[in-house]
Amino acid sequence: MLVTIPGIGEDTAIKLMAEIPDVKRYSSARQLAAHAGVTPRHHQSGESVKRASVMSKVGNARIRKTLYFPAITAKRFNPIIREFCQKLEHRGKTKMAIIGAAMRKLLHQVFGVLKSGKAFDPHYGARIEEL
């Protein structure tokens, strides 16, 4: 089922299924992203120091390692992630920040496919808006 997501191949799907044995443990895709450590960590110290956000990396490193190259592939072939990454690029984000955001978005799609038990549909959101 996961291989229907552009960017996810058989090896990646197997590794993700090994690391995420029961998706029902997570009530949302945000919880799964936090478990994997692909959520942004903001740094602010009072009013004077505001640094760029970085990936938190507090969580399952194997999931992050598994998602790195699929996120790069998804930037090219997954229509939802491609559009998302183009918006981030126009906003001036760095290449690594864009890859990290693509990893998180890809994990959200993985959660949706696993939770629903249905194949990936890139037009799913558009159909909801039409209703």
| Residue 75 reports pLDDT greater than 90 | yes
Whether residue 93 contacts residue 86, with contact meaning beta carbons closer than 8 Å, is answered with: no
* Structure confidence at residue 56 as a pLDDT band (50, 70, 90): confident
Is the separation of the CB atoms in 37 and 68 below 8 Å? no
Mean pLDDT of 72-86: 96
Phi-psi bin for 65: left (phi > 0), alpha (psi -120 to 50), beta? alpha
As beta bridge partners, residue 55 has: 40
> Higher pLDDT residue, 130 or 69?
69
- pTM, whole model, 2 decimals? 0.87
Q: Give pLDDT tens digits for 12-32.
A: 999 999 999 899 999 999 999
Q: Per residue in 106-117, pLDDT tens?
A: 999 999 999 999
Instruction: Give pLDDT, residue 44.
Output: 67
Q: How many Cβ atoms from other residues are within 10 Å of residue 62's Cβ?
A: 13
Identify the burial level of 9 via C-beta atoms within 10 angstroms of its C-beta, where 0-12 means exposed, 13-18 middle and 19 or more buried: middle
Confidence category of residue 4, pLDDT binned at 50, 70, 90:
very high
C-beta separation of 56 from 37 below 8 A: yes
